[in-house]
Chain A
Amino acid sequence: MTEPLLMASELSVQKGVRALLSNVSLTVNQGDVWQLAGGNGVGKTSLLRAFARLARIEVFGRLERCEDVLYSGHSAALKGALTPRQNLMTHPSGLNAPSDLAIDTALEAVGVLGHADVQTARLSAGQKRRVALARLFLPSPRLWLLDEPFTALDVQGVNVLEARFLEHARSGGAVVFTSHQSAALGDELKVLNLEHYCGD
């Protein structure tokens, strides 16, 4: 159970000439839920993108991670012209085309099943966010890297998502997410405060 899904040691993140973070070390084991905390502009998104190997930044240091990763960023790769169902069915990240049943279940879990066949462009910001997060309720990779997953969600949505994080962690997965709010995940939440790694 303790095979690390992600191991970063003495990682430095640089954006142009500006050093964002230095000497970040983090080991994400199966069953972990990590929050990358810190104020605006501290480098949460940059570090997460570095973990996803999507860096538009320079990364120094050692980074090892498993290959099956789900990354969800600010822009959710949802097409307004497609319905939520079509969006999930043909999401560009996924190899396993999910079944109709799995998609129904996922959309129901995030509470947008009633809008499954409406154009995504007609949904509200929060509903779109929920459609994007429905990916987490489909059969998914072990390591989740989520950028601000709680944005635009209502209280009930936040609760559902937190419960899903814990469920995923208990079934052998791991979650790393950024947020500047403190999540109510109890003892199982580990927090990496990036304010301590600022600059040089």
Chain B
Amino acid sequence: MTDQSGIDTLQYLSGQTARHVRLQLASPSEIVNPLLFFLLVVILFPLGLGPDPERLALMAPGILWVVALLANLMICMRLFVDDFEDGSLEQLAMASTPLALSVIPQLLAAWMTGGLVLSLAAPLFGMMLGLPVSAVPVLVASLLMGTAIMLLLGAVGAALTVGVRRGGILLALLILPLYIPVLIAGTRALDEALHSGDPVVALAFLGAGVTGGLLLAPLAIAAGLRVSLEL
């Protein structure tokens, strides 16, 4: 790759990022809906479990992480649908930039308006469940990494099922098993933080997941999209 084409590719990718961020901001409901879902579930749990703060605090890691996982699933279900229907994906596949690179802007935009927002709002939800303030940094750090991994994994499933009518359930079946290690590591980190243990091991596991995911998932997503586009 010559210097010039490298610069062109960067320009193209930043243009695509701007396009997707603009599109996300143009439909605020898609950003707000997962947050609302999160809020509603967090409100419902104390009603179902009883208001005992100690019991709630004990269950908070599991509740927060499961709800974050489900909210992320909602985000993944919408991921490629519009672009598939209006021909954008076809055009993306025809561009000279490899598909594994050109899907990254969309993932970045989806994470910034999804996972990032969820992670930053999570301390509020944590406090509603009586999570001590000392655990908040671990909560945010684990969710920042966890939502990124879950988005990358979910995008692989979304790429494979985008051509399937009502593929939502199929997507959930495909990717929920893959989310289990992430869920275990995330709740483990929070548990350790709650009981003054050492959350670093679990956080390091999540960090490794993000790195591996960033390297491998775009290739799998590109392959999945090619299958869906029947290229």
Contact A95 B9 (CB under 8 A): yes
Q: Please, which residues of chain A bring their CB within 8 A of the CB of B94?
A: 52-54, 69, 71, 93
Contact with B along A114-155 (1 / 0, CB 8 A): 000000000000000000000000000000000000000000
Total A-B Cβ pairs within 8 A: 78
Residue of A nearest to B87 (CB): A75
Smallest CB separation, A178 vs chain B (Å): 16
Q: Please, which residues of chain A bring their CB within 8 A of the CB of B113?
A: none
Contact A91 B230 (CB under 8 A): no
Q: Please, which residues of chain A bring their CB within 8 A of the CB of B90?
A: 54, 71, 73, 77
Q: Which of A5-13, A82-90, A163-171 contacts B (4 or more CB under 8 A)?
A: A82-90
For A75, give its contact among B26, B86, B95, B230 (CB under 8 Å).
Answer: B86
Q: Please, which residues of chain B bring their CB within 8 A of the CB of A77?
A: 86-88, 90-91
Q: How far is the CA of A182 from the CA of B15 in the complex (A)?
A: 39
For B23, give its contact among A56, A69, A71, A82 (CB under 8 Å).
Answer: A82
**Contacts A54-B229, A92-B91, A93-B95; is A86 near B85 (CB within 8 Å)?**
no
- Tell whether A94 is near chain B: CB-to-CB under 8 Å: yes
Q: Please, which residues of chain B bring their CB within 8 A of the CB of A78?
A: 86
- Tell whether A188 is near chain B: CB-to-CB under 8 Å: no
**Contacts A67-B96, A92-B16; is A97 near B229 (CB within 8 Å)?**
no
Q: Please, which residues of chain B bring their CB within 8 A of the CB of A95?
A: 8-9, 11-12, 95-97
Contact B102 A92 (CB under 8 A): yes
**In terms of DSSP, what is the predominant structure of the interface of chain A?**
loop
Smallest CB separation, B73 vs chain A (Å): 24
Smallest CB separation, B28 vs chain A (Å): 11
Smallest CB separation, B176 vs chain A (Å): 30
Contact B16 A90 (CB under 8 A): yes
- Tell whether B27 is near chain A: CB-to-CB under 8 Å: yes
Contact A76 B86 (CB under 8 A): yes
Contact A90 B87 (CB under 8 A): no
Smallest CB separation, B37 vs chain A (Å): 23
- Tell whether B19 is near chain A: CB-to-CB under 8 Å: yes
Contact with A along B11-39 (1 / 0, CB 8 A): 11001101100110011000000000000
- Tell whether A19 is near chain B: CB-to-CB under 8 Å: no
Contact B15 A90 (CB under 8 A): yes
Q: How far is the CA of A96 from the CA of B11 in the complex (A)?
A: 8
Contact with B along A39-53 (1 / 0, CB 8 A): 000000000000011
Residue of B nearest to A74 (CB): B87
Q: How far is the CA of A115 from the CA of B172 in the complex (A)?
A: 42
- Tell whether B231 is near chain A: CB-to-CB under 8 Å: yes
- Tell whether B92 is near chain A: CB-to-CB under 8 Å: yes
For B87, give its contact among A53, A76, A96, A97 (CB under 8 Å).
Answer: A76
Q: Please, which residues of chain A bring their CB within 8 A of the CB of B86?
A: 75-79
- Tell whether A185 is near chain B: CB-to-CB under 8 Å: no
- Tell whether A81 is near chain B: CB-to-CB under 8 Å: yes
Q: How far is the CA of A82 from the CA of B19 in the complex (A)?
A: 8
Contact A97 B12 (CB under 8 A): yes
Contact A97 B26 (CB under 8 A): no
Contact A90 B230 (CB under 8 A): no
Q: Please, which residues of chain B bring their CB within 8 A of the CB of A53?
A: 94, 231
Q: How far is the CA of A104 from the CA of B156 in the complex (A)?
A: 38
In B20-79, the 8 Å CB interface with A consists of: 22-23, 26-27
In the assembled complex, 15 residue pairs joining A and B whose CB atoms fall closer than 8 Å, in A order, are: A52-B94, A53-B94, A54-B90, A55-B230, A55-B231, A56-B230, A69-B94, A71-B91, A74-B87, A79-B88, A90-B15, A92-B91, A93-B92, A97-B12, A97-B15
Contacts A55-B231, A71-B90, A82-B23 known; list 10 others, CB within 8 Å.
A53-B231, A54-B229, A54-B231, A69-B94, A77-B86, A78-B86, A81-B22, A92-B88, A92-B91, A95-B11
The 10 A-B pairs at the shortest CB distance, nearest first, are namely A75-B87, A81-B26, A90-B19, A93-B91, A92-B92, A77-B88, A56-B230, A77-B87, A92-B91, A90-B15
